[in-house]
Amino acid sequence: MMNIIVFSLIGIGVLFALLRLIIGPSAFDRVVGLDTFNVIITGLIVFIAYFLKSSLYLDIAIVYAILSFLETIIFARFLEGK
């Protein structure tokens, strides 16, 4: 029961962040949607580790957090036009 509630809540967050990523008027809006999406997905991966009772997914969450941070920084610097 709790798993269904938490997956639904995370699904709502992912859905709205993806909508902002798709319909964002400017490029900055899309990058903001992508940033939010990445943090929500990191939480989702940790919750999947709890749901499947497998500690392997925590390593995946660490690597995903590092890659999403690099992605945000690189997109921001690229859009800034240095």
Partner 1 sequence: MNIAGNILIIIGGVFLAIGGLGVFRMPDVYNRIQAGTKATTLGAFSLLLGVGFANPEWLLKIILIIVFIAITNPVGSSVLARAAYKKGAFEYKKDASDLSKNRKRGE
Residues that bind partner 1 (CB under 8 A): 2, 5-6, 9-10, 12-17, 19-20, 24-26, 28-29, 31-33, 35-36, 39-40, 42-43, 46-47, 49-50, 53, 55, 58-59, 61-62, 65-66, 69, 72-73, 76-77, 79-81
Q: Least distance from C-beta 49 to partner 1, angstroms?
A: 7
Round to whole Å and give the CA distance between 17 and 70.
19
40, 10 in Cβ contact below 8 A?
Answer: yes
Q: What are phi and psi of 61, to 5 degrees?
A: -65, -40
Q: Least distance from C-beta 35 to partner 1, angstroms?
A: 6
Round to whole Å and give the CA distance between 80 and 45.
31
